[in-house]
């Protein structure tokens, strides 16, 4: 594990905070933890929170990428950062995250780390499928437990858990990935009501297709897709106001069209979609 604490003072003029940025800082500051911060949605969550003035703990496997992001955000927004190069597929390193942030007044966890695979489950490498469960489910549960307890004792805080449009039914050719996101969706729904009396907000973010490193790792071809920045901002705007958010027009359109079908029909429809997105996957 690599831990770096960096304090910087910006030399640029910082724009006045928006209403969302002021609310995030007041409700969840002074520190936030963002997992999966080296790429995609996680990186955009970090940028949005830095613009709000929250100090950040940036977590991912690639420490050098995180260090560059930390320097960028520190210079642009005058925040402090802590870089933790951790592999959340390893339970010991998930536990290390709690230890490495125990001295900070953390009020927000964004659990954006995760990955997917595509193709027939029985043709996949079992190690990769089990590692996906470790990152997408086991690590999320452990972090929600650890930080949920901290926030409840603190009397306020927020948990952002990344669900998916695929979480609401089985999805052929992404069967295991969809199952991991169904777990996250259900966990977030339950925790929202459990932790509300303690002043802790929980939101499940269920976007549709996104332009990010996820698609490349899952060997999927994306056509129309949302930007990670749009997903991050819409999710943070919903935190404390809704239990589930479907960021962006595309996600809402897809969910609207699927919701008119029975569950079996949704499974069949998404089977066709996945065949098109994974056409090159034998």
Q: Which residues are catalytic?
A: 177, 181
Can you tell me the distance from the alpha carbon of 110 to that of 135, in angstroms, rounded to the nearest whole number?
Answer: 14
Q: Phi and psi of 195, rounded to 5°?
A: -95, -10
> In sequence order, what DSSP letters do the residues of 3-33 get, joined into one string?
EEEEE----SPPPPPPHHHHHHHHHH-SEEE
Name the token pair of 248.
């962006």
Taking alpha carbons only, the member of 115, 118, 162 closest to residue 270 is: 118
Packing angle of the helix pair 228-238, 40-51 (nearest 10 deg)? 60
Q: Phi and psi of 56, rounded to 5°?
A: -130, 140
Which letter, b or e, does each residue of 18-51 get, where b requires 16 or more Cβ atoms within 10 Å of its Cβ? Answer: eeebebbbebbbebbbbbbbbbbbbbbbbbbbbb
């Amino acid at each position: 594990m690599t831990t770096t604490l960096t304090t910087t003072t910006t030399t640029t003029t910082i724009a006045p905070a928006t209403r969302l940025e002021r609310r995030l800082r007041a409700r969840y500051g002074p520190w936030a933890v963002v997992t999966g911060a080296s790429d995609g949605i996680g990186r955009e969550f970090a940028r949005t929170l830095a613009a709000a003035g929250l100090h950040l703990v940036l977590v991912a496997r690639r420490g050098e990428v995180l260090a560059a992001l930390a320097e960028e955000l520190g210079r642009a927004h005058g925040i402090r950062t802590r870089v933790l190069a951790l592999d959340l597929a390893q339970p010991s390193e998930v536990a290390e995250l709690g230890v490495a942030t125990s001295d900070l007044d953390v009020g927000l966890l964004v659990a954006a780390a995760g990955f997917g695979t595509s193709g027939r489950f029985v043709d996949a490498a079992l190690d990769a499928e089990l590692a996906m469960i470790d990152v997408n489910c086991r690590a999320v549960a452990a972090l929600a437990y650890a930080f949920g307890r901290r926030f409840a004792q603190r009397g306020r805080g927020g948990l952002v858990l990344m669900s998916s449009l695929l979480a609401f039914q089985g999805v052929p050719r992404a069967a295991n990935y969809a199952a991991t996101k169904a777990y996250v969706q259900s966990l977030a729904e339950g925790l929202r009501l459990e932790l509300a009396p303690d002043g802790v907000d929980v939101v499940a973010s269920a976007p549709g297709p996104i332009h990010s490193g996820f698609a490349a790792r899952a060997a999927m071809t994306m056509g129309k897709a949302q930007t990670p920045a749009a997903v991050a901002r819409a999710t943070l705007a919903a935190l404390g106001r809704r239990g589930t958010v479907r960021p962006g027009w595309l996600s809402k359109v897809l969910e609207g069209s699927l919701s008119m079908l029975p569950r079996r029909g949704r499974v069949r429809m998404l089977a066709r979609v996945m065949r098109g997105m994974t056409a090159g996957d034998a």
